[in-house]
């Protein structure tokens, strides 16, 4: 079993713990396979009543191993991305279909791949330090790990707002947004953990705190109006027309991200509203394989995670200059890859 994932049984729980703190628990292929094996074993173990995933050392999980995918692509390894994303998305589907309660304790960063291994579970517990985000447009990827299915189903247009801008939902806001199910104080986690393994998931309700107000409550009208628009251009126009500080900041953030990625992310979120989770994951796999071979993705990962200069040179550089035909071509029908077919069969 992979050292970066600890797996053990404790009381009623089948426990899975992420142990790659130096990379903020970002998921590599070995970790994904270890989690999936553990899920399979616990699902049929009659002594395991529920699964419990956590990462107590540092954050929850910062995402997927996009640095590794970039390195493989630069070394001309074209199959690495497909193998990685196929395994990751199969795990996301397995969590959604898990026959037992699946409890994620999220205390700290939970982005991208971290959302994929928590939000599809039945119980997502956020502490005041939990920070959920889908920041992929910043590295010219897109909201994946089943969030093309999930984000369009969040209240109002919050999911489009999150998926296009990378906006963070912190603490109780994650519950308001529908990403987490319970808000628990960080200081209560040791007692919650002890009660969970002893008595099972029914104890969670007793630890849940009343929710403080949603910090985005005042911004909801502008978020919902702008991000329900039928095109990226219309989102921009509605934000510009609003004139308020929140709308102007949001516009500025959208302009920092890969213009192409904002467009292809919008397209897959719109389509995801009408897909099942397996269909959404299959579409995500087809898109992930394509966009991770583009210079835009190399540049995004370079600017955010490799050189960390946060000064990417996007091409085209402006949202207005993205060719709709180039975006459409990414979604053109092509014969499904074997991994894609396997996802759709589930
Ligand atoms: C967008 C992303 C990711 C990101 C930052 C973004 C992502 C990811 C990481 C990450 C962070 C810290 C690490 C690490 C990876 O950051 O997917 O290995 O130590 O994995 O803006 O999509």
Q: What is the pLDDT of residues 267-323, one digit of tens each?
A: 999 999 999 999 999 999 999 999 999 999 999 999 999 999 999 999 999 999 999
For a mutational test of ligand 1's pocket, the pick from 57, 62, 68, 88, i.e. the residue with the most ligand atoms closer than 8 A to its C-beta, is 62
Displacement of CA 260 from its chain's centroid (Å):
19
Query: Ligand 1 in contact with 116 (CB < 6 A)?
Result: no
Assess whether the C-beta atom of 305 lies below 6 angstroms from ligand 1: yes
150 lines ligand 1 (CB under 6 A): no
**Cα–Cα dist 137/123, whole Å:** 27
Is the CB–ligand 1 distance for residue 141 below 6 Å? Answer: yes
Buried b (16+ CB within 10 A) or exposed e, 142-163: bbbbbbbbbbbebebbbbbbbb
CATH number at residue 45: 3.90.226.10
Does residue 109 line the site of ligand 1, with CB under 6 A?
no
* β strands within 47-101, DSSP E: 50-54
Distance (angstroms) between ligand 1 centre and the Cα of 10 equals 31
In sequence order, the 6+-apart residues with CB closer than 8 A to the CB of 153 are 159, 178, 273
Could you tell me the CA-to-CA distances from 98 to 18, 77, 95, 157 in Å, in that order?
A: 19, 33, 5, 28
Least Cα distance to 150 among 113, 105, 119 occurs for: 119
- Whether residue 225 has pLDDT greater than 70: yes
Q: Which residue among 22, 28, 112 has the greatest number of ligand 1 atoms within 8 angstroms of its CB, and so is best to mutate?
A: 112
Domain region containing 207:
1-346
Please tell me the residue having the least CA distance from ligand 1 atom 7: 63
Gap between the Cα atoms of 190 and 183, Å rounded: 15
The pLDDT of 51-61, averaged and rounded, is: 95
Using CA atoms, how far apart are residues 102 and 54, in angstroms rounded to an integer? Answer: 11
- Residue with the smallest CA separation from ligand 1 atom 20 is 63
Provide the number of structural domains found in the chain.
1
CA angle 162, 166, 169 (to 5 degrees): 60
Band of pLDDT at residue 35, cut at 50, 70 and 90: very high
Instruction: Tell me the whole-structure pTM to 2 decimals.
Output: 0.95
Model confidence at 42, in pLDDT bands (50, 70, 90)?
Answer: very high
CA of 48 to the centre of ligand 1 (A): 32
Query: What are the tens digits of pLDDT across the range 82-125?
Result: 999 999 999 999 999 999 999 999 999 999 999 999 999 999 99
Catalytic residue list: 64, 113, 136, 144
What does residue 82 show for φ and ψ, rounded to 5 degrees? -60, -45
Model pLDDT for residues 238-282, shown as the tens digit of each residue? 999 998 999 999 999 999 999 999 999 999 999 999 999 999 999
pLDDT for res 157? 98
- For the chain, the farthest-separated pair of C-alpha atoms sits apart, in whole angstroms, at 58
Q: Is 63 in the pocket of ligand 1 (CB under 6 A)?
A: yes
Any bridge partners for residue 13, and if so which?
10, 50
User: Residue 110: enclosing H or E segment and its boundaries?
Assistant: strand 109-111
| Cα four-point dihedral sign 328, 133, 212, 235 | negative
């Amino acid at each position: 079993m992979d050292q970066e994932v600890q797996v053990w049984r404790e009381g009623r729980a089948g426990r899975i713990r992420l142990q790659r703190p130096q990379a903020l628990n970002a998921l590599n292929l070995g970790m994904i396979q270890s989690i999936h094996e553990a899920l399979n074993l616990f699902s049929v173990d009659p002594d395991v009543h529920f699964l419990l995933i956590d990462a107590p050392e540092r954050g929850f999980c910062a995402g997927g191993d996009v640095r590794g995918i970039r390195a493989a692509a630069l070394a001309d390894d074209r199959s690495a991305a497909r193998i990685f994303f196929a395994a990751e998305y199969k795990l996301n589907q397995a969590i959604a279909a898990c026959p037992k309660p699946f409890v994620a304790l999220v205390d700290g960063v939970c982005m991208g791949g971290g959302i994929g291994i928590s939000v599809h579970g039945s119980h997502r517990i956020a502490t005041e330090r939990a920070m959920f985000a889908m920041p992929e447009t910043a590295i010219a990827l897109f909201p994946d790990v089943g969030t093309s299915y999930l984000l369009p189903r969040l209240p109002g247009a919050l999911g489009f707002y999150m998926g296009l801008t990378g906006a963070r939902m912190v603490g109780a806001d994650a519950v308001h947004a529908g990403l987490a199910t319970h808000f628990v104080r960080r200081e209560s986690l040791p007692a919650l953990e002890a009660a969970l393994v002893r008595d099972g998931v029914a104890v969670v309700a007793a630890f849940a705190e009343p929710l403080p107000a949603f910090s985005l409550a005042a911004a909801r009208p502008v978020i919902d109006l702008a991000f329900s628009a039928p095109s990226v251009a219309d989102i921009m126009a509605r934000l510009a027309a609003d004139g308020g500080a929140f709308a102007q900041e949001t516009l500025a953030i959208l302009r920092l991200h890969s213009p192409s990625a904002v467009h292809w992310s919008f397209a897959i979120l719109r389509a995801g509203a009408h897909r099942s989770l397996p269909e959404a994951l299959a579409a995500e796999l087809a898109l992930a394989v394509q966009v991770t071979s583009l210079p835009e993705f190399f540049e995004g990962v370079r600017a955010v995670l490799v050189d960390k200069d946060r000064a990417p040179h996007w091409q085209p550089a402006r949202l207005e200059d993205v060719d709709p035909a180039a975006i459409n071509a990414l979604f053109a029908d092509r014969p499904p890859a074997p991994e894609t077919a396997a996802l759709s069969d589930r």
